[in-house]
Structure 1
Amino acid sequence: MSEIAQIDAPGRRDRQRDATRAAILTGALALFSRRGFEGTTLPAVAQRCGVAVPLIVYHFQSKDGLWRACVEAVYARIAGHLAGFAPALAEAEGPAWFRLQIRAFVTALAAHPEYMRIVFHEGMEASPRLEWLVAGHQGRITAHIVGIVDAAQAAGYLPAMDATHAKFVLSGAFALPIVLAAEYTLIDGTDALSDAFIERHVDTTIALILPGLNSTGH
């Protein structure tokens, strides 16, 4: 083996390992979001990804480890999407700030619908997975939305109400057409994950939550 090949081999192996890990995460995330934890098996993930089960165990130790890695990965994408709105939010104020916050959340969930589908699956029954999900991920999103609710109430855009309860109502408004996109399409014939639909959904959500605001922000 040449000196260059000897130097390059470790780097090539690292790239191959990273590519394999990413492919497993992609396939597993699709299954966990559709079937839930209990409905997903490692053989099903292996078949979808075209790898052997022992290779999945090598990278993630167990199905639980794989599930947690999937949640970490999709949450990071959600957080990254929201972070992309930070410069515009820093410049916005009043009604424009609230509309931008709603747009940020709706478009983040639409770009990565697997996250809320996993939350819906796990949120139906108490479990160590749900505790972990809330403590490390969904709890942060809840706190963020509760902060927006508190600010909207202080500004007079929302009536007085329990902010945590309002968060769950708003989360449903943000996410339900996206989580149930297949049902929406069957009923309405519209692709509920298309760019055109998401823009309409953003406008509809804003109109429902902040009916006193018009499209110009006054």
Structure 2
Amino acid sequence: MRVMARQENDNPKSVSKPVRTRKTSTATPRRRRQGRPPLGDAGPDATRNALLDAATKLFARLGYEPVTTGAIAAEAGVTQSIVHYHFGSKQKIWEAAIDRLMAERIAFYENLAEKPGGMDPLTRLKLLTKGLVYANAHNPDFARVTVHEGSVSGDRMHWLVESYMKTAFDKFEGAIREAMAAGAIRQMPLRDVTLIIVFGASLIFTFSGMIERMYGTPLTDPEAATSYADSFIDIVFNGLKPDGAPGAAPLPFRVPGQTAQG
């Protein structure tokens, strides 16, 4: 009887061991692939866009080096592994942020009411210039990124130039060259005119906060942007008028290291 009692007592123990299945509740997380964290209710596209929004904001404000994928994740309200899942590295999310910025700028340009095509060379150049002002007023982040990256030669600067800057400059150089050939503007060094127009229509918007502090209104304000565009075009193209008047006389000083002429 004692033996049977022992067996009866042992049976529940032998049965109870396999019944304890707490370990199986963790089986599903263990089968999850490493580096593929759950995307959450927002979905992959919304998560990716939130990361690009955060990355664009930080890269435009701080530049590339101080920004980490952890900071981007914190700004977007997700974990750092989400950044690496979608983009793989900081360099890749930086490139993706620039790609999206440029896609938005191109779409903005294409949606302008006044199209520069099919016009006389001077009108086309003026509208290209005005469109560039409006594009930077609408979103100055690309100009801010170029300020950070354009000051030091490196891989990111080279990528920017080869991927986007050359194309943009070629468009303006072509329009300026046509206007000069048509006699609509004075013959001047093509590089100089291009730099004045492109950077004058772009880099001014990187100082929007300072301008707001001094004048009470940011230059990104629609009315302020329109006023600046009109004034900029008036000043630049009046200076380029082919009115037969001689160009400005050289200023009576030399850049250090420049040899005297004449």
TM-score where L is the length of structure 2:
0.71
CA distance in 2, matches of 1:76, 1:83: 11
Code of the residue aligned with 1:132 in structure 2: it is W
Query: Partners of 1:189 and 1:87 in 2: how far apart?
Result: 30
From 73, 89, 96, the equivalent of 1:69 is 96
CA deviations on 1:31-69 (whole Å, 9 max, x unpaired) are: 101111012121211111101111001101000001000
1:91-145 deviation digits (Å, cap 9, x = unpaired): 4325432322211111112112111111111100111111111111111111111
Cα separation, 2, equivalents of 1:15 and 1:182: 33
C-alpha separation between the residues in 2 aligned to 1:14 and 1:74?
26
- Whether 1:35 and 2:35 are equivalent positions in the alignment is no
Q: 2:174 matched to which residue of 1?
A: 147
Q: 1:185 touches 1:191 (CA, 8 Å); kept in 2? A: yes
Identical residues among aligned pairs (%): 26
Paired residue for 1:96? 123
From 205, 226, 247, the counterpart of 1:178: 205
Q: How many residues align?
A: 202
Which structure shows the higher helix fraction?
Answer: 1
SS of the aligned residue for 1:97 comes to: helix
Post-superposition offset of 1:175 = 1.5
Residue 203 (structure 2) pairs with residue 160 (structure 1): no
Aligned residue identity for 1:37? Y
Distance 1:95 1:111 in 2: 24
| Gap runs ≥5 in structure 1 | 1-11, 214-218
What is the aligned counterpart of 2:234 among 196, 207, 212? 207
Structure 1 contact 46–56 (Cα < 8 Å) conserved: yes
Alignment check: 8 A CA contact 1:177 1:184 kept:
no
From 108, 113, 122, give the equivalent of 2:140: 113
* 3-state DSSP of counterpart to 1:68: helix
Tell me the C-alpha RMSD between the 2 structures. Answer: 2.2
Dislocated runs of 4+, deviation >4 Å: 12-15
Matches of 1:212 and 1:136, distance apart in 2: 32
* Partner AA of 2:219 in structure 1: A
Q: Radius of gyration: which is bigger? A: 2
The answer (yes or no) to whether the contact 1:24–1:49 under 8 Å persists in 2 is: yes
1:25 paired to 2:64? no
For 2:79, which of 26, 46, 52 is the aligned residue?
52
2:136–2:202 CA contact under 8 A, matched in 1: yes
Match 1:194 to one of 203, 207, 221:
221
Is the Cα contact below 8 Å between 1:21 and 1:59 reproduced in 2?
yes
Structure 2 distance, partners of 1:28, 1:201, is 29
Quick one: structure 1 residues 200 and 206, their matched pair in 2 at CA, closer, same or farther if it must change by over 3 Å?
A: same
**Aligned equivalents of 2:41 and 2:94: distance in 1?**
23
TM-score, normalised to structure 1's length? Answer: 0.85
Would you say the 8 A contact 1:103–1:202 is kept in 2? yes
Q: Compared with structure 1, are the counterparts of its residues 141 and 130 closer, same or farther at alpha carbon in structure 2 (3 Å cutoff)?
A: same
